Amino acid sequence: MSEIRFLAQACCDAVPAMAGLDTDTKAALLRDMAAALEARSADVLAANAQDMAQAAAKGVQGAMLDRLRLDEARVAAIANALREVAELPDPVGQVTRRETRPNGLAVERVRIPLGVVAMIYEARPNVTADAAALCLKAGNAVILRGGSEAIHSNTAIAAALHDALRAHGLPTAAVTLMEDLRREAMVELLQLTDLVDLAIPRGGEGLIRFVAEHARVPVIKHYKGVCHLYVDRAADLDLALDLLVDGKTSRPGVCNALETLLVHRDVAVDFLQRAALTLRERGVELRGDARTCELVPDAKPAIEDDYAAEFLDLILAVRTVDSLDEAIAHIRRYGSDHTEVIATRNEAAAQHFVQAMRSAVVMVNASSRFSDGGELGLGAEIGISTTRLHAYGPMGAEALTIERFVVRGEGQVRHAQSRVR
Amino acid sequence: MSEIRFLAQACCDAVPAMAGLDTDTKAALLRDMAAALEARSADVLAANAQDMAQAAAKGVQGAMLDRLRLDEARVAAIANALREVAELPDPVGQVTRRETRPNGLAVERVRIPLGVVAMIYEARPNVTADAAALCLKAGNAVILRGGSEAIHSNTAIAAALHDALRAHGLPTAAVTLMEDLRREAMVELLQLTDLVDLAIPRGGEGLIRFVAEHARVPVIKHYKGVCHLYVDRAADLDLALDLLVDGKTSRPGVCNALETLLVHRDVAVDFLQRAALTLRERGVELRGDARTCELVPDAKPAIEDDYAAEFLDLILAVRTVDSLDEAIAHIRRYGSDHTEVIATRNEAAAQHFVQAMRSAVVMVNASSRFSDGGELGLGAEIGISTTRLHAYGPMGAEALTIERFVVRGEGQVRHAQSRVR
């Protein structure tokens, strides 16, 4: 048995113990993990200092380095996130449907854990704790494969989580951190279809494509968020401007930031000139089609690639459209199925837009920045899916479960001739 | 563009038209498909005669040949199945959850179609109509790849479905029948991750493994059904005997038939001797462990492979166990995650069994033969999933949809500083 299969087998063997935990025990375990993390804070910070030194020696700088960095406040934030997950409702055991069939069979749909979840991620060490917590909340075991740049931090955090597992008499393999970070090892893990139920990659598009291409186990992912705001002819333009500024500037580096603005021609003169002024003050570069560039002299001409781009920066692609349907056609062509927004006071236009969109999240008169598990009421988020299967949009603990059938009878048989009595 | 990509692209282009159909139009379309099939009955039977002649010439016989055969009654049954799907509830547009967030955002989860479903199947021509109907019911487009042995029948059935699509002004590509039956063409289809949302293979284990191994698109499948009946020490033995006879003999060739009987030692003497007598009358061969063979002299000794086998025949593997937990361990080791049954009057034992099983369907005091979409209230079934993702157990029209988020606001922004007004 290879080392990777051995690890995955141990994690799989931990599934029944984790799946069988009751709600209170899981909550206590997660709170104890938070406490263990705080108790090991000095170890975690020392490990993180090693990672930081290594990264600095490799020339990593700026935002990349900041994502890797831990300090006491960030460790406390990770511990608090564990405590928040502890308080969330437990999806396991929820009865989602209940029906009595004409023959008296009581048929229920009941949530059970998925089993073994493999998280593949980069840089941010907090994912080690966050992902483990949500997986455990849903009664799963988890294999964590973080990036080499954070290996010391991740190992120290996992050690704290293991302290709590041990204190509860649970197998530490329920939270398995892969230390072999070779790509071949990851590929081997992603092909263990008999042991791993789901892989969730989180990170840059390159990592996600690598996972999708090499996995034989199911993968839930999103590559990018090319989110659109369509300002309808019937939009409240003040409201639309708020959505635009929030969507583009409140945190441009995240997947639910706006990347493209579509404006109906009837309101283009008014809206684009006001928007240009406001966005210019906030340092946003506009890249527009010909009509937009006429109205906004300092906009640069957009090339086609701009409409498919996830800029993750203070850049906005803009297009003036002749109709709602032209906006819909644009989003169908260039969109990433993540989040789309319409600003309109016309209910029929809103309904038509919602119905025509196939994206995971569709907003009417609200900022794309709300496309987030916490904001949409899931409590916490393990990722966002644009895979049109199982979970679509922000994924919380419930997305780490599956509904199965539990049927209770009194000796019903399907063929009367089978009856011996 | 290759021919396969061209077909799949046309099917994908049909998605918005199908997804936008209202409930009444979809029902009318399905009823018109039934009528068109009846109108083309003579063509379908002539085409089937070609398939039958070809199969006979190849030496196909018995059950295989019977599965391929159509006659007027079977065509009428296919048409009636279309009418039944027409009457089922429409899953599209169903609001599954609704919540107002503290900031006033109204968050709904709403079912939308998956998109393009690829059905890969063998022999039975009725799957062409059944699968198309369920896919369309859920607003999807479908690519059908049947077996070469049924190609004439499938083509004639698809022609009838196309008549109805045309009569409704809908693209016939919404039901695309692949005529290129080379394995390479199937593999190409299964790798079109940008066009195909889900593949569902139905047929023998060989076909399903081939699909699972070559697909890059998500696959929902089950390989086999090794269903267990555990007769607890607290079982009503008369009731347990009914479940055993129904599970093993009412239709041994299907996936929800029983394959293994586990009996608690405390009731083994009574139960096994009665069971052996009854099953012997019905022509069932028993393969047992040493204790079973002692109690049932004409049982053959079981080898380990018998416990993992899906016999699909009048053969039953039997084992005497010392405890409920030994039964659970046996099923965890040899089971296929399909359907497991416990016969017991002890509620604690039933609960422990249900909780310990990870299978898609768990029955208490009911026959495994009820593990079927129609019997469990789904109306119709496109397949049974033992893939622990998206759908688990029998899959109906709802399993061909996905829940997405629809959010309505009044200009809410995530960061107050974004507000321009």
Q: How far is A205 from chain B (nearest CA, A)?
A: 16
Answer whether residue B417 is part of any domain.
Answer: no
Answer whether residue B379 is part of any domain.
Answer: no
Contact of A390 with chain B, judged by CB distance below 8 Å, is answered with yes
Nearest CA in chain A to B405: A361
B357, HSE (Cβ side, Cα atoms, 13 Å): 34
Same domain, yes or no: A272 and A352: yes
Of B340, B325, B348, B357, the closest CA to residue A16 belongs to B357
Q: How many CB pairs under 8 A join A and B?
A: 247
Query: Quick check: A198 and B389 CB within 8 A?
Result: yes
Sheet of A116-121, strand order = A175-177, A141-145, A116-121, A198-202
Answer whether residue A357 is part of any domain.
Answer: yes
Q: How far is B342 from chain A (nearest CA, A)?
A: 10
Same domain, yes or no: B211 and B339: no
State residue B200's pLDDT score.
96
Q: From the list B239, B250, B356, which residue is nearest A411 (CB)?
A: B239
pLDDT of A123 > 80? The answer is: no
Answer whether residue B15 is part of any domain.
Answer: yes
Of B290, B286, B280, the closest CA to residue B261 belongs to B286
Q: pLDDT tens, position by position, for chain B (421 residues)?
A: 899 999 999 999 999 999 999 999 999 999 999 999 999 999 999 999 999 999 999 999 888 888 899 999 999 999 999 999 999 999 999 999 999 999 999 999 999 999 999 999 987 899 999 999 999 999 999 999 999 999 999 999 999 999 999 999 999 999 999 999 999 999 999 999 999 999 999 988 899 999 999 999 999 998 899 999 999 999 999 999 999 999 999 999 999 999 999 999 999 999 999 999 999 999 999 999 999 999 999 999 999 999 999 999 999 999 999 999 999 999 999 999 999 999 999 999 999 999 999 999 999 999 999 999 999 999 889 999 999 999 999 999 999 999 999 999 999 999 988 898 7
Q: Are B210 and B122 in contact (CB under 8 A)?
A: no
Q: Exposed (0-12), middle (13-18) or buried (19+): which is B346, by Cβ within 10 Å?
A: middle
Question: Which residues make beta-bridge pairs with A201?
Answer: A120
Contact of B359 with chain A, judged by CB distance below 8 Å, is answered with yes
Same domain, yes or no: A247 and A329: yes
Instruction: Look up residue B114 and give its two tokens.
Output: 């998956």
Same domain, yes or no: B193 and B338: no
Q: From the list B99, B112, B361, which residue is nearest A407 (CB)?
A: B361
Contact of B191 with chain A, judged by CB distance below 8 Å, is answered with no
B27: domain CATH number is 3.40.605.10
State residue B398's pLDDT score.
96
In single-letter form, the type of residue at position B163 comes to D
Give the range of the structural domain holding residue B252, as residue numbers without chain letter. 227-370
pLDDT of A380 > 90? The answer is: no
pLDDT, mean of residues A280-304: 96
Contact of B183 with chain A, judged by CB distance below 8 Å, is answered with no
pLDDT, mean of residues A270-279: 97
- Please list every residue in chain B whose beta carbon sits closer than 8 Å to the beta carbon of residue A356: 16, 20
- Please list every residue in chain A whose beta carbon sits closer than 8 Å to the beta carbon of residue B232: none
Same domain, yes or no: A55 and A180: yes
Please identify among residues 31-70 of chain A the ones whose CB lies closer than 8 Å to any CB of chain B: none
B340: domain CATH number is 3.40.309.10
Q: Are B130 and B103 in contact (CB under 8 A)?
A: no
State residue B1's pLDDT score.
84
Q: From the list A101, A198, A388, which residue is nearest B197 (CB)?
A: A388
Same domain, yes or no: B65 and B199: yes
Query: Quick check: B417 and A250 CB within 8 A?
Result: yes
Same domain, yes or no: B238 and B214: no
Q: Tell me the per-residue pLDDT of A183-225, one tens digit each, with 9 for 90 and over.
A: 999 999 999 999 999 999 998 889 999 999 999 999 999 889 9
SS (H, E, C) chain B: CCHHHHHHHHHHHCHHHHHCCCHHHHHHHHHHHHHHHHHCHHHHHHHHHHHHHHHHHCCCCHHHHHHHCCCHHHHHHHHHHHHHHHHCCCCCCCEEEEEECCCCCEEEEEEEECCEEEEEECCCCHHHHHHHHHHHHCCCEEEEECCHHHHHHHHHHHHHHHHHHHHCCCCHHHEEECCCCCHHHHHHHHCCCCCCCEEEEECCHHHHHHHHHHCCCCECCCCCCCEEEEECCCCCHHHHHHHHHHHHHCCCCCCCCEEEEEEEHHHHHHHHHHHHHHHHHCCCEEEECHHHHHHCCCCEECCHHHHHCCCCCCEEEEEEECCHHHHHHHHHHHCCCCEEEEECCCHHHHHHHHHHCCCCEEEEEECHHHCCCCCCCCCCCCEEEEEEECEEEEECHHHHEEEEEEEEEEEECCCHHHCCC
What Cα–Cα distance (Å) separates residue A391 from each residue in A118, A308, A360, B191?
A: 16, 24, 9, 21
- Number of domains comprising chain A: 2
- Please list every residue in chain B whose beta carbon sits closer than 8 Å to the beta carbon of residue A250: 413-415, 417-418
Same domain, yes or no: A46 and A116: yes
Query: Quick check: B418 and A387 CB within 8 A?
Result: no
Query: Quick check: A239 and B362 CB within 8 A?
Result: no
Query: Quick check: B415 and A246 CB within 8 A?
Result: yes
Alpha-carbon dihedral of residues A65, A71, A74, A75, nearest 10 degrees?
120
Distance CA B121, CA A70 (A): 53
Contact of B204 with chain A, judged by CB distance below 8 Å, is answered with no
Query: Quick check: B389 and A389 CB within 8 A?
Result: yes
Residues 6+ apart with CB under 8 A from B254: B225, B312, B369
Complex ipTM over 0.85: yes
Answer whether residue B378 is part of any domain.
Answer: no
Answer whether residue A191 is part of any domain.
Answer: yes
Contact of A241 with chain B, judged by CB distance below 8 Å, is answered with yes
Contact of B394 with chain A, judged by CB distance below 8 Å, is answered with yes
Nearest CA in chain A to B243: A413
- Please list every residue in chain A whose beta carbon sits closer than 8 Å to the beta carbon of residue B409: 363-367, 370
Distance CA B175, CA B30 (A): 12
Same domain, yes or no: A209 and A277: no
> What is chain A's length?
421
Q: Exposed (0-12), middle (13-18) or buried (19+): which is A89, by Cβ within 10 Å?
A: exposed
Same domain, yes or no: B354 and B263: yes
What Cα–Cα distance (Å) separates residue B200 from each residue in A74, A240, B118, B204, B211?
A: 45, 43, 6, 13, 9
Task: Residue B173: count other Cβ atoms within 10 Å of its Cβ.
Answer: 22
Contact of A413 with chain B, judged by CB distance below 8 Å, is answered with yes
What Cα–Cα distance (Å) separates residue B299 from each residue in B272, B282, B305, B341?
A: 10, 14, 16, 22
Q: From the list B250, B412, B421, which residue is nearest A418 (CB)?
A: B250
Biggest CA–CA distance in chain A, Å, is: 88
Q: Are A366 and B407 in contact (CB under 8 A)?
A: yes
Contact of A420 with chain B, judged by CB distance below 8 Å, is answered with yes
Q: Exposed (0-12), middle (13-18) or buried (19+): which is A163, by Cβ within 10 Å?
A: middle
Alpha-carbon dihedral of residues A137, A139, A141, A142, nearest 10 degrees?
-30
State residue B421's pLDDT score.
75
Distance CA B63, CA A130 (A): 54
Nearest CA in chain A to B99: A377
Answer whether residue B383 is part of any domain.
Answer: no
State residue B204's pLDDT score.
87
Nearest CA in chain A to B407: A363
Same domain, yes or no: B14 and B133: yes
Band (pLDDT 50/70/90 cuts) for residue A64 is: confident
Contact of B333 with chain A, judged by CB distance below 8 Å, is answered with no
Answer whether residue B159 is part of any domain.
Answer: yes
Q: From the list B216, B362, B409, which residue is nearest A365 (CB)?
A: B409
Q: Exposed (0-12), middle (13-18) or buried (19+): which is A377, by Cβ within 10 Å?
A: middle
Please identify among residues 83-142 of chain B the ones whose CB lies closer than 8 Å to any CB of chain A: 99, 101, 105, 107, 112, 114-115
Q: From the list A251, A363, A389, which residue is nearest B390 (CB)?
A: A389
State residue A62's pLDDT score.
84
pTM over 0.90: yes
Contact of B314 with chain A, judged by CB distance below 8 Å, is answered with no
Query: Quick check: A366 and B412 CB within 8 A?
Result: yes
- Please list every residue in chain A whose beta carbon sits closer than 8 Å to the beta carbon of residue B375: 101, 105, 414
Q: How far is A283 from chain B (nearest CA, A)?
A: 14
State residue A421's pLDDT score.
74
Q: How far is B243 from chain A (nearest CA, A)?
A: 6
Query: Quick check: B404 and A375 CB within 8 A?
Result: no
Same domain, yes or no: A209 and A347: no
* Percent of chain A with pLDDT strictly greater than 70: 100
Q: How far is A38 from chain B (nearest CA, A)?
A: 30
